[in-house]
Amino acid sequence: MLGALTDKMRETFSKLMREKKLTEDNISEAVSEVRLALLEADVNYSVTKAFVKKVKERAVGEQVVNSVTAGQTFIKLVHDELVQLMGGEEYSLNLTGKPSIILMCGLQGSGKTTHTAKLARYLRKKNLSKSPLVAACDLQRPAAVEQLKTLASAAGAAFFSIPNETDPLKVARAASEFALQHGHDVLIVDTAGRLQIDEELMSQLGQLKKALNPNEVIFVANATTGQDAVNVAAEFNTKIGVTGSILTMLDGNTRGGAAISIREVTGKPLLFEGIGEKLDDIQLFNPQSMADRILGMGDTINLVKKAQEHISEEEAKRLEQKMRTASFTYEDFLNQIQMVKKMGSLKGLLGMLPGMGQLKDLPINEKDFFKTEAIISSMTRNERSERCELIPSRRKRLAAGSGTSIDDVNKLVKTFKQAKQFFKNMPNMKQLQKMMGGSLWQ
């Protein structure tokens, strides 16, 4: 995502990196290029105009300290303004009341139904809801009810519908009563969409909002549609009053315009972002994280969150000690691979590291993970703990036992030794925390 915008920003900043100080001339040139990059990324024109004006006003007369270049100073200004433009901080859902009610809305094809289930799963994972209930009130799109039923089951959420009912208002009211009677603490209501905004859609949503009095009215926007998503969000907000937005398909070919513009245009926060097709592929929208990604600085904020989800502090310290003392074994190597797989694709994780974004385009074959797991799983306990040398006869046995080749086994042994040396020489955890801007475990 955001590839073209990020490349344009990098190109603009690289020119300033050679400058010792900011001048009216190089500021004007840089600001013009930033303006063009934002407009090409489909950022709202008025938002772009106001943004570059603020950047220019801050840049003029800005003092460049001895330890940084003009380019670094300008990057910080742009970064800070982007963060403020997108809301400044993460927002939490308003989940007061029993049940708390969330009304999902948006156009057809934006991902409402999928993200209804994703949100239910997210709330359960984060212990924000013990028993979420999703209600099928999209009674127009064929198979929408069955789709939500299937997704709810996979997400571990309860499901509510009324067979053969054609009035979404009756279903919504019954779902609210059902949630109250059966102890569901959160009710998430999926609603119908249209290919475009019309009076019937807005009238239906208005009635649902009045009947349910929801805690949150969340607009679901497809980020790949760029400026169109922002315009539609503004209209939904004007006519029914949304409380925030979810940006979907941010893992796809999006230019970034919706992410940058939507909060400024609607005046309502970006709450979540959809980053993949799986039910777990949803995360809180963090303005600093998005600004980092736009400017090619990686995404350490969400990388650390992923690490916290899958690696405990005790496990991290244990592994760090083994790495630093060169006692890292094939068993540990296997555990690390399995943890990385849980965190997402290797290419995606590489793209989250500062300065490593271009590595995500390397021809990495993630099927090699399966080969590695199979080979290590075929090892004896002594082989996994390196108590015996993997001589040719053992390697031949491992290849046969894992359904791989001798070359695959040799490649694993070489990779393992390189990884062991790398970990031995890498910064310790405190240094790594400092590099990433804070503690990995708060």
* 254-274 mean pLDDT: 82
Q: Is the pLDDT of residue 61 over 70?
A: no
DSSP readout, 134-165?
Answer: EEEE--SSTTHHHHHHHHHHHHT-EEE--TT-
Q: Tell me phi and psi for residue 374, to 5 degrees.
A: -65, -40
For the whole prediction, is pTM greater than 0.75?
A: no
State the residue for tokens 């949304």: 242
DSSP readout, 386-428?
Answer: TSS---HHHHHHHHHHHT--HHHHHHHHHHHHHHHHHHHHSPP
Indicate the DSSP class of residue 357. G
Q: How far apart are CA 239 and CA 384, in angstroms?
A: 63
Q: Which of 295, 411, 275, 294 is nearest to 344 (CA)?
A: 275
Domains of the chain: 3-85 (1.20.120.140), 100-290 (3.40.50.300), 303-435 (1.10.260.30)
* 49-65 mean pLDDT: 77
pLDDT in tens, 275-312: 888 898 898 988 888 888 787 766 556 666 666 666 66
pLDDT in tens, 67-111: 456 777 788 888 888 888 888 888 989 998 889 999 999 888 888
Amino acid at 418: Q
Q: Is the pLDDT of residue 431 over 50?
A: no
Q: How far apart are CA 254 and CA 321, in angstroms?
A: 41
Q: Is the pLDDT of residue 64 over 90?
A: no
Average confidence score pLDDT of the chain: 81
For 62, the 3-state DSSP assignment is coil
Contact residues for 404 (Cβ-Cβ < 8 A; gap 6+): 371, 374, 375, 398
For 167, the 3-state DSSP assignment is coil
Could you give the percent of the chain with pLDDT greater than 70?
A: 79
Q: Is the pLDDT of residue 250 over 50?
A: yes
> In the structure, what pLDDT confidence band is assigned to residue 363 with cuts at 50, 70 and 90?
very low
Q: Is the pLDDT of residue 113 over 60?
A: yes
Q: Which two three-digit tokens encode residue 155? A: 């997400």
| Burial class of 146 by CB neighbour count within 10 A (0 to 12, 13 to 18, 19+) | exposed
**Long-range contact list for 331-335, CB < 8 A, 24+ apart?**
331/376, 331/384, 331/385, 333/372, 333/376, 333/416, 333/419, 334/372, 334/373, 334/376, 334/377, 334/384
Cβ atoms of 365 and 400 closer than 8 Å: no
> In the structure, what pLDDT confidence band is assigned to residue 441 with cuts at 50, 70 and 90?
very low
- Between CA 233 and CA 240, with CA 238 as vertex, the angle to 5 degrees is 90
The predicted pLDDT at position 362 comes to 47
